[in-house]
Amino acid sequence: MKKFAVALALGAALIAGPAFADTMQNTYGNTIVVTYANGSQAQYHFNADGTFTAVAPGGSQMAGRYTAEGDQLCLIPPSGAAPQCTTIATDKNVGDTWTQSATDGSTISVELRAGR
């Protein structure tokens, strides 16, 4: 579950705008890189089939499913635990980098990087 708390930072990294589907479609085949205040990074790969994989700071790996409805991104742990949901950005393209607050209130940098 702790891994999914890290993954939820991604959801916080994708804060709302008008074209939600575009941001999710733009992630397919690409990488979301979240950089935390201490310099550590997490990388996320979303797939069109509703699955994702991620590497958390420190190298632990995780995988699961996600749903995206309205402006909500929900990460679903394979353990059957409750989904972790957050508001997502909707106007991001490959090459975009932005800063925002993480779920714990700290400032993070988010990049939608080309390729995997």
pLDDT value, residue 78: 85
pLDDT value, residue 8:
55
pTM, two decimal places: 0.77
Kindly state the greatest CA–CA separation across the chain. Answer: 34
3-state secondary structure 31-89: EEEEECCCCCEEEEEECCCCEEEEECCCCCEEEEEEEEECCEEEEECCCCCCCEEEECC
Tokens of 48: 């069109």
Domain 2-113 has CATH 2.20.25: no
| Mean of pLDDT values over 35-42 | 95
Q: Where does residue 116 rank: exposed (0-12), middle (13-18), buried (19+ CB within 10 A)?
A: exposed
> How far apart, in Å, are the Cα atoms of 92 and each of 20, 22, 25, 76?
9, 7, 10, 23
Give me the pLDDT at residue 2, please: 53
Percent of the residues in the chain that have a pLDDT greater than 90, as a whole number: 42
Phi, psi of 51 (to 5 degrees): -110, 160
**Distances from the Cα of 106 to the Cα of 50, 52, 91, angstroms:** 28, 24, 22
| Average confidence score pLDDT of the chain | 81
Alpha-carbon Rg of the chain, whole angstroms? 13
Chain segment 53-106, per-residue pLDDT in tens: 999 999 999 999 999 887 778 889 888 888 888 777 778 899 999 887 777 778
The tokens of 112 are what? 């939608």
